[in-house]
Amino acid sequence: MTVRERSELRSARRVVVKVGSSSISGENAGRIQPIVEALASAHARGTEVVLVSSGAIATGMPYLSLAERPSDLATQQAAAAVGQNVLIYRYQEALRPFRIVAGQVLLTAGDLENHTHRSNARRAMERLLGLRILPIVNENDTVATHEIRFGDNDRLAALVAELIGADALVLLSDIESLYTRPPDQPGARPIDRVHYGDDLHGFEFGSVVVNSVGTGGAATKVSAARLAAASGVGVLVTSADLVDEALGGAEIGTWFDPNPEPTAPAATGPIRTAGVVAPR
């Protein structure tokens, strides 16, 4: 089914959920449990769920005695190699009471822009879902180069949603919805809905933010949401704390209407922040 309203998320056939590093690492590592509980509830309703999870580098940092995200690529790759193992272990332990098995899928955006790699990835994901496994997708940070430094998994989540024909994409953030400008600025208003084709010029979503654990920001979510929407996937952007409500169809967050007439598969090549103004 094509999810055209937030309320339809509860009965969606297939949903991709993306969570960022800051939501599940460091002092927020305990938030994995409620996120998993929400995914398990959807899984029990019969929804096929794919989780795109950042956090390998952030999770690995304490094991390398790093107080903040490393700036050099080799150390980022080392932290990712250690952290990915721990991250999947934490997810599997949280999933165990629900008798759900996780399957690790490591990709780069480049994999999804290569025809052969795309076909292989799609086949593997379809088989995992057919076996009622919960795929946990992350960018392959141990070998990634450009993506590891300048991107976030929002884009990867959009490409995965298109790849597997998801009905909807849920991008989890640190705030309940997107705003017309950074929410700490005067005059910022929450955005309830973005109709397909809406002109977003004039809204200030900010540029990519690099913090102590990861990269991301509102602009990457807007770009990813528009990419997924163009391929016919409805997108909800909301807080990680509200993931259960989101998957239950609550009227929360910012909803991006899907393209009513999607054509070719979305996107090869880099996505661009169409209609987004980033402050200088």
For the annotated binding site for ATP, the residues are 18, 173-174
- The sign of the torsion formed by the CA atoms of 222, 252, 168, 216 equals positive
Binding residues: 18, 54, 141, 153, 173-174
Residues 6+ apart with CB under 8 A from 56: 79, 80, 83, 84, 87, 138, 141
Annotated binding-site members for substrate: 54, 141, 153
Question: Using an 8 Å Cβ cutoff, are 170 and 16 in contact?
Answer: yes
Tokens 């949280």 locate to 94
Indicate the SS3 state at residue 62: helix
Identity of the amino acid at 60 = G
Nearest Cα neighbor of 128 from 54, 51, 53, 55 is 51
Instruction: State the Cα–Cα distance between residues 264 and 230, nearest whole angstrom.
Output: 10
